[in-house]
Amino acid sequence: MQNRATENPNATSYKDRRLRAVYRRELQNSVFYSALIVGAGITAAAVAGFFQAPSAALVTSVLMLPLVLASLGAARVVRRRGRRYVIPIGMLVGLLPLFSTGVAVLLVPGGRAISMASLGLITLAFAIFIPLERRAHVVWLILANMVMFATVVAMVLMREPLSLSIAAFITGTIATVLSLAANDIQLRRRVQMNGQLLAVRGLYSRMKDHEQDLRRQDEFLFMQQETLVVQQAELLRLNEELESIARLDALTGLGNRLRLNEDLAALAARIERNGGTAGVLLMDLDRFKRLNDCAGHLAGDAALRGVADVMRKTSRSGDGVYRYGGEEFLVLLHDCDESGLQVAGQRYLTAIEAAGMAHPDNPPYGLVTASAGATELSTVNCKDVDSALHDADEALYVAKGSGRNRLHVHKRAEAPTALIQLDQQRAAS
């Protein structure tokens, strides 16, 4: 059983509200069952006294009945409001057997020896089973000894043998000393138990803190993982953007030679696999070097951007437009034969001239114009795209040599133009 001593064995446990609640609940249960046992014991003592002294049975019953009712009432009160009044009720319950023993000693002469022995054991048992803090225990011992002293005085007044009074005094004294020792042992035991309990609770608290730390680390790692996923997605997007930028011409925004090589290889593979034809249209701006010389490189760059914009607007959906190098542009025309090349090439040249970009040193037009060479890409030459590009280059410089601002479509039957002539024409363009 527990009491205030178990609530406050040391400062730490006293400050712990949960420990105090546990101690009060345990003490409440202890006092409740002690009150029931005390009531049953007093009743059993009354019955035993009835058989030993039938003449005093009525008086004994009248005196014992209030004690039994008091124990039952204490059990009822401690069950309902025991947490508030548990200490006083527990002390009252411990005094009830003393009153019962005193009545038995005075009214049942035949059972005085047993009653005197039980008188000494009551205080000892109470200290063992309901340990009180020292101050409360001393108060209870004073009350118990007052009851015992009253019993001894009553025995003297009733002219009982002096030896019986001395025996009662000695029994009470021994019981008091033993009760103090037993209560002190119980308090020390409670302090040790409280220390162990607090240690376990401290360990549990540290485990909870560690669990919270792990949970916070998990949340942090989850956030880091989410951030990493976002960064990976952003990195993939930037890589795709870089790959796209790496395949675009910085000045005009058209596809560069890298994009041309990839698209041309894919187109040639498709023709080789599925058949069909495509067109390669290579254009070169007329007298572009003179435009840079007379108007400056900024004007030349503006002309290149303007031509690129015209070509984007003129091209069909699915056709590829590229800056081939310098002032040269190339168009890949899907599903296009030689007749289609003639129409498409003329459409591009007309659109460039119609854009009206000034070129003072390009007589007789005075505008930016272009010459174009075209060749058909089919199953015959798709395995060697370099030869197809060379054929388009030959056709371009045939157009240059024919007066510029015109288109020439390469015929497979045509004799190849000498490379020296092409280089000379390229320098003159």
Bridge partners for 376 per DSSP: 279
DSSP state letters, 157-199: HTT--HHHHHHHHHHHHHHHHHHHHHHHHHHHHHHHHHHHHHH
Q: 375 near 410, Cβ under 8 Å?
A: yes
Domains (ranges, CATH) in the chain?
4-210 (no CATH), 257-428 (3.30.70.270)
Active site residue 327: yes
Within a 10 A sphere around the Cβ of 75, how many other Cβ atoms? Answer: 22
Q: Where are the beta strands (DSSP E) in 300-391?
A: 320-325, 328-334, 370-377
* Half-sphere exposure at residue 226, Cβ-oriented, CA atoms within 13 angstroms: 5
Longest dimension (CA), the chain: 161
Q: So what's the pLDDT on residue 189?
A: 75
E strand residue ranges, 260-394? 278-285, 320-325, 328-334, 370-377
Number of H helices, E strands in the chain: 13, 5
Alpha helices for 108-161 (secondary structure H): 112-129, 134-157
Is this model's pTM higher than 0.75 or not? no
pLDDT < 70 positions in the chain: 1-20, 22-23, 49, 52-53, 55-57, 82-83, 104-132, 155, 158-161, 164, 168, 412-429
Distance CA 355, CA 397 (A): 23
The pLDDT assigned to 121 comes to: 52
pLDDT in tens, 274-323: 989 999 999 999 999 999 988 899 999 999 999 999 999 999 888 999 99
In a 13 Å sphere around the CA of 280, the CA atoms on its Cβ side amount to 29
Give me the pLDDT at residue 354, please: 93
User: Which of 7, 133, 327, 394 is an active site residue?
Assistant: 327
